[in-house]
């Protein structure tokens, strides 16, 4: 909402109780009481006629006598009894907002902390029985506090242009890895927080999930510039293959057609029996093997041959885990 719109809402919320308390009022008097030109108040009143309860039926909207306003410069308002007094937060509303702000406060720092403290003070001052919320104790799980502290440290490293040493858990290998990175951006996608950075171990841009960072250390060394590498836009999801990644062709049974909609593919071809052939770029062969094992027996690799052979070997290895010894 723009500053002008906020001011207009404030005037209307003050004007309606004023008119209902004192009755019909001349335009010049009301404008003087509110400290605005009469022309501005007329514009506000022409907006007021579109305000009211949800539903937008004639009986739901506030009524302004436009004939009296235009002909006699008199403000006459009807059907606005619910705005007869200035609106205030109830005790329940104040408590809910206060608890939410205090929860945020547990993981805030710096300017954010100051802003939250000012908001809390205002709400507790103006709300009805706002002191009731002052006795509510907010406890934030340690994991959430640690995650917020980690994000704060990474943001500081990013803004100061420093490298960061990470101990990062890789679930695919069930191991912790050590790497030095040049932070590029902190982003959120699908409810998770990520650090985009240039990884010196992988010699490329990587995405690190914050909840998988076991330890971090901001180094004195300056982060190296990577002018040709832009942070990835995650608006369309996390799976973003590069143009130079290997192109793999899969044949999908009807039960696995959803893959063509869930992942970005370069080509889709219909085949008999409701089957599909798709071409997609693969950045990590281990990811592809896990996907194929999930889809089995409803997917197969057509090309390249090395991926088909790798999948066959992975499937046989998985089946061997279920064989009974000596059978």
Cβ atoms 211, 147 nearer than 8 A: yes
Ranges of beta strands (E only) in 61-174 are: 63-64, 74-75, 77-78, 162-170
Same domain, 216 and 195: yes
DSSP secondary-structure letter at 218?
A: E
Q: Which residues contact 76 (CB under 8 A, 6 or more apart)?
A: 19, 24, 64, 65, 68, 69
What pLDDT does 55 receive?
A: 64
- 162 domain residue, yes or no: yes
CATH number at residue 55: 1.10.10
Domain of residue 62 covers 3-83
pLDDT digits (tens, 9 = 90+) for 17-34: 888 888 899 999 999 998
136 and 148 share one domain: no
Q: How much is the pLDDT for 323?
A: 61
Q: How far is CA 256 from CA 120, 262, 306, in A?
A: 52, 11, 22
Based on the structure, what is the number of domains in the chain?
Answer: 4
Let me know whether 115 and 162 are in one domain: no
| 134 and 166 part of one domain | no
Distance CA 116, CA 135 (A): 17
Residue 265 included in any domain: yes
- Same domain? 123 vs 151: no
Q: Could you tell me the two tokens for 281?
A: 């770029």
Handedness of CA 101, 105, 111, 114 (dihedral sign): positive
Domain final residue pick, 222, 238, 257? 222
Q: Is residue 237 part of a domain?
A: no
Residue with the bigger pLDDT between 95 and 152: it is 152
| 270 and 313 part of one domain | yes
Q: Are residues 95 and 150 in the same domain?
A: no
Do both 16 and 60 map to the same domain?
Answer: yes
Rounded distance, CA 109 to CA 319, Å?
Answer: 52
pLDDT of residue 291 exceeding 80, the answer is yes
Q: What is the pLDDT of residue 172?
A: 60
């Amino acid at each position: 909402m723009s500053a002008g719109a906020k001011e207009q809402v404030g005037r209307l919320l003050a004007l309606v109780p004023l008119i209902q308390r004192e009755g019909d009022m001349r335009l010049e008097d009301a404008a003087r009481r509110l400290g605005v030109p009469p022309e501005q108040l007329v514009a506000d009143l022409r907006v007021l006629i579109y305000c009211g309860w949800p539903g937008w039926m004639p009986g739901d909207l506030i009524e302004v006598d436009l004939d009296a306003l235009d002909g006699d410069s008199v403000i006459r308002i009807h059907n606005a009894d619910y705005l007869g007094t200035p609106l205030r937060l109830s005790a329940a509303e104040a408590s809910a907002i206060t608890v939410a702000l205090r929860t945020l406060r547990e993981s805030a720092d710096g300017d954010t902390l100051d802003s939250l403290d000012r908001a809390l003070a205002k709400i507790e001052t103006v709300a009805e029985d706002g002191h009731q919320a002052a006795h509510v104790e907010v406890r934030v799980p340690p994991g959430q506090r640690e995650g917020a502290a980690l994000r704060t440290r990474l943001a500081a490293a990013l803004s100061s242009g420093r490298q960061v040493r990470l101990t990062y858990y890789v679930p695919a290998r069930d191991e912790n890895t050590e790497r030095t990175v040049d932070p590029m951006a902190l982003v959120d996608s699908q409810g998770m927080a990520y650090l985009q950075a240039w990884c010196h171990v992988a010699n490329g841009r990587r995405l690190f999930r914050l909840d998988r960072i076991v330890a971090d250390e901001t180094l004195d060394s300056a982060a190296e510039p990577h002018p040709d590498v832009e942070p990835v836009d995650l608006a369309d999801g996390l799976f973003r293959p590069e143009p130079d990644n290997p192109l793999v062709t899969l044949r999908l049974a009807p039960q696995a057609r959803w893959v063509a909609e869930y992942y970005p593919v370069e080509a889709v071809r219909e085949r008999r029996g409701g089957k599909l052939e798709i071409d997609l770029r693969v950045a990590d062969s281990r990811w592809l093997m896990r996907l194929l094992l999930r889809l089995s027996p409803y997917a197969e690799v057509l090309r390249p041959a090395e991926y088909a052979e790798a999948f066959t070997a992975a499937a046989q290895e998985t089946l061997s885990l279920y064989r009974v010894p000596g059978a």
